[in-house]
Amino acid sequence: MKLPSHITSTARRRAESASDRTPIYAMVGNPNSGKTTLFNALTGLRQKVGNYPGVTVEKKIGTTWSQHGKPIQVIDLPGAYSLAARSPDEAVLRDVLFGRREDTPQPDRIICVVDAANLERNLYLVHQILDLGRPVIVALNMMDMAAAAGLKVDAAALERALGVPVIPCEAVHGKGLVGLRLAMSRVELPLARHRWDVPAAVAPAVAELQASLTDNEGRAPLVARAEALLLLTDFDTVRVAGSRPLSARTHEILGNWRQRWESAGTDWAATLIRSRYDSIGGLCQDVVVRTREQGPSRSDRIDAVLCHSFWGWVVFGAIMTALLFSIFSLAEGPMDWIESQTTALKGLVNGAMAAGDLRALLTEGIIGGVGPIIKFLPQILILFFFVGLLENTGYMARAAFIMDRPMSKVGLNGRSFIPLLGSYACAIPGIMATRTIENAKDRLVTILVAPLMSCSARLPVYLLMIATLLPGDAVSAGKKAGLMLLMYALGTFGAFGFAWLFKRTLFKSAPPHMIMELPPYQPPRLREILRQMLGRAWLFLKNAGTIILAISIVLWALTTYPKHPDPAATPTEQIAHSFAGQAGHLLEPVIKPLGFDWRIGIGLITSFAAREVFVSSMGVIFGVAGADENPTPLRDALRAARWPDGAPLFTPLVCLVLMIYYVFAMQCMSTVAVVKRETNSWRWPLFQIFYMTGTAWLFCFVVYQMGRSLGY
Interface ranges with other proteins (CB under 8 A): 40, 45, 47-49, 353-361, 422, 425-426, 428-429, 432, 531, 535-536, 539-540, 542-543, 546-547, 550-551, 553-554, 556-557, 669-670, 673-674, 676-677
Choose between 251 and 676: whose C-beta lies nearer to other proteins: 676
Nearer to other proteins, 55 or 223 (CB): 55
At its nearest, how many Å lie between other proteins and the CB of residue 530? Answer: 12
Q: What 8-state DSSP symbol labels residue 197?
A: B
Q: At what angle do helices 683-709 and 669-679 cross, to 10 degrees?
A: 140
Considering the complex, state which of residue 211 and residue 609 has its C-beta at the smaller distance from other proteins. 609
Tell me, what amino acid is at 81?
Y
Could you tell me the smallest distance in angstroms from the CB atom of residue 555 to other proteins?
Answer: 10
Tell which residue, 131, 127, 126, 133, has the closest CA to residue 109: 133
Closest residue by Cα to residue 141 from 108, 99, 172, 103? 172
Smallest gap, in angstroms, from Cβ of residue 612 to other proteins? Answer: 11
Peptide bond into 511 cis (omega under 30): no
CB of 685 to other proteins, least distance (A): 10
* Widest distance between CA atoms in the chain: 99
21-to-108, 187, 595 alpha-carbon distances in Å: 11, 11, 70
- We find the least distance from the C-beta atom of residue 53 to other proteins, in angstroms, to be 16
User: Shortest distance, CB of residue 535 to other proteins, whole angstroms?
Assistant: 6
CB of 634 to other proteins, least distance (A): 22
Task: Report in angstroms how near the CB of residue 580 gets to other proteins at its nearest.
Answer: 13
Q: Which residues fall within 8 angstroms of residue 150, CB to CB, at 6 or more apart?
A: 290, 291, 292, 293, 294
Three-state DSSP class for 153? strand
| Axis crossing angle, helix 203-216 with helix 221-234, rounded to the nearest 10 | 120
Contact 356, 635 (CB under 8 A): no
CB 24 within 8 A of CB 73: yes
Judged by CB, which is closer to other proteins: 370, or 470?
Answer: 370
In the bound state with other proteins, the residue whose beta carbon lies nearer, of 441 and 676, is 676
Which residue's CB is nearer to other proteins, number 127 or number 536?
536
23 versus 34: smaller Cβ distance to other proteins? 34
CB of 428 to other proteins, least distance (A): 4
Closest to other proteins by CB, 382 or 700: 382
By C-alpha distance, which of 78, 35, 28, 86 is closest to 57?
A: 78
Asked whether the beta carbons of 133 and 6 are under 8 A apart, the reply is yes
Nearer to other proteins, 259 or 680 (CB): 680
Backbone dihedral region of 256: left (phi > 0), alpha (psi from -120 to 50 degrees) or beta?
Answer: alpha
Find the distance separating the first CA and the last CA of the chain, reported in whole Å.
82
CB of 296 to other proteins, least distance (A): 33
**Between 7 and 354, CB nearer to other proteins:** 354
Distances (CA, A) of 113 to 31, 97, 153, 168: 10, 15, 15, 10
